Structure 1
Amino acid sequence: MPLTFRKSFQILPGVRLNINRRSWSVTTGGRHGPKHTTSSTGRRTTSMDLPGPFGWRRTTRRRR
């Protein structure tokens, strides 16, 4: 079983710093409405919870 590391810190209300073994990311947004995540690897994700068991997510990668 591989060891994993993941830690999340709240910097300001609505802003979180997420750290794992390979990268870090910053997430903005609250419980209601869209969340925007930008990763150190170039991945950008926008997600939103919808009513019921539904959710929406869009991920893009930075071109090299």
Structure 2
Amino acid sequence: MSITFRKSYRILPGVRLNISRRSWSITLGGKHGPRHTISSTGRRTSSMDLPGPFGIRRDHRRR
């Protein structure tokens, strides 16, 4: 079992700073509705929870 590190800070309502061992990211959006995440590694993710066990997620990577 490996040791992991992940911490999340709420900066403003609807804005979170997520820090892990290898990178950091900023998430815009609340718990309900669309969310957009931008990572220091160049990954961009848009996601949205739908009623029930459904959700939509789309990843974009820097080339």
Structure 1 and Structure 2 fold alike (TM over 0.5): yes
Structure 1: tracts of 5 or more residues without a match:
none
Counterpart of 1:21, as a letter, is R
Amino acid at match of 2:41: T
Q: Report the equivalent of 2:54.
A: 54
CA distance in 1, matches of 2:49, 2:4: 27
Q: One-letter code of the match for 2:49? A: D
Could you tell me the TM-score, scaled by structure 1's length? Answer: 0.95
Stretches of 4+ moved more than 4 A in 1?
A: none
Percent of residue pairs identical:
78
Cα separation, 2, equivalents of 1:32 and 1:13: 13
List runs of 5+ in structure 2 lacking aligned partners.
none
Larger deviation: 27-36 or 10-19? 27-36
One-letter amino acid of the counterpart of residue 59, structure 1: D
Amino acid paired to 2:51: P
